[in-house]
Amino acid sequence: MPINQAPFPATRFRRTRADAARRSMVRETGLCTSDLIWPLFVMEGEGDRHAVPSMPGVERMSIDLVVKAATQAHSLGIPAICLFPYVDPALKTELCEEAWNPDNLSNRATKAIKDAVPEIVVMTDVALDPYNSNGHDGIVRGGEIMNDESVAALVKMALAQAGAGADILGPSDMMDGRIGAMRAALEAEGFQNTAIMSYAAKYASAFYGPFRDAVGASGALKGDKKTYQMDPANKNEALRLVERDLSEGADMVMVKPGMPYLDICRLVKDRFHAPTFAYQVSGEYAMLMAAAQNGWLDGEAVMLESLLAFKRAGCDGVLTYFAPRVAKILAG
pLDDT tens-digit readout, 205-215: 999 988 888 88
Mean pLDDT of 261-280: 98
Report yes or no: 12 and 5 within 8 Å, Cβ to Cβ. Answer: no
Q: Is there a domain that residue 241 lies in?
A: yes
pLDDT at 217 over 80: no
Q: Is there a domain that residue 174 lies in?
A: yes
Q: Give tens-digit pLDDT for 99-117.
A: 999 999 999 999 999 999 9
Q: How many domains does the chain have?
A: 1
Instruction: Identify which of 269, 195, 261, 186 has the alpha carbon closest to the alpha carbon of residue 230.
Output: 261
Q: Is there a domain that residue 234 lies in?
A: yes
Tell me the pairing of strands 276-279 and 168-171.
unpaired
Q: Is there a domain that residue 262 lies in?
A: yes
CA 85 – CA 39 distance, rounded (Å): 11
pLDDT at 275 over 70: yes
Output the pLDDT for position 73.
Answer: 98
Output the pLDDT for position 209.
Answer: 86
Output the pLDDT for position 212.
Answer: 80
Q: Is there a domain that residue 6 lies in?
A: no
Element (H or E) spanning 197, and its range? strand 195-202
Q: Is there a domain that residue 203 lies in?
A: yes
Q: What is the pTM of this model?
A: 0.95
Output the pLDDT for position 2.
Answer: 63
Output the pLDDT for position 96.
Answer: 96
Q: Give tens-digit pLDDT for 282-316.
A: 999 999 999 999 999 999 999 999 999 999 999 99
Active site residues: 202, 256
Instruction: Identify which of 174, 181, 215 has the alpha carbon closest to the alpha carbon of residue 198.
Output: 174
Side-chain-side CA neighbours of 304 within 13 Å: the count stands at: 14
CATH of the domain at 55: 3.20.20.70
Q: Is there a domain that residue 289 lies in?
A: yes
**Sign of the four-CA dihedral 237, 239, 242, 247:** negative
- How high does pLDDT run on average in the chain? 96
CA 29 – CA 220 distance, rounded (Å): 42
Domain that holds residue 111: 32-330
Q: Is there a domain that residue 87 lies in?
A: yes
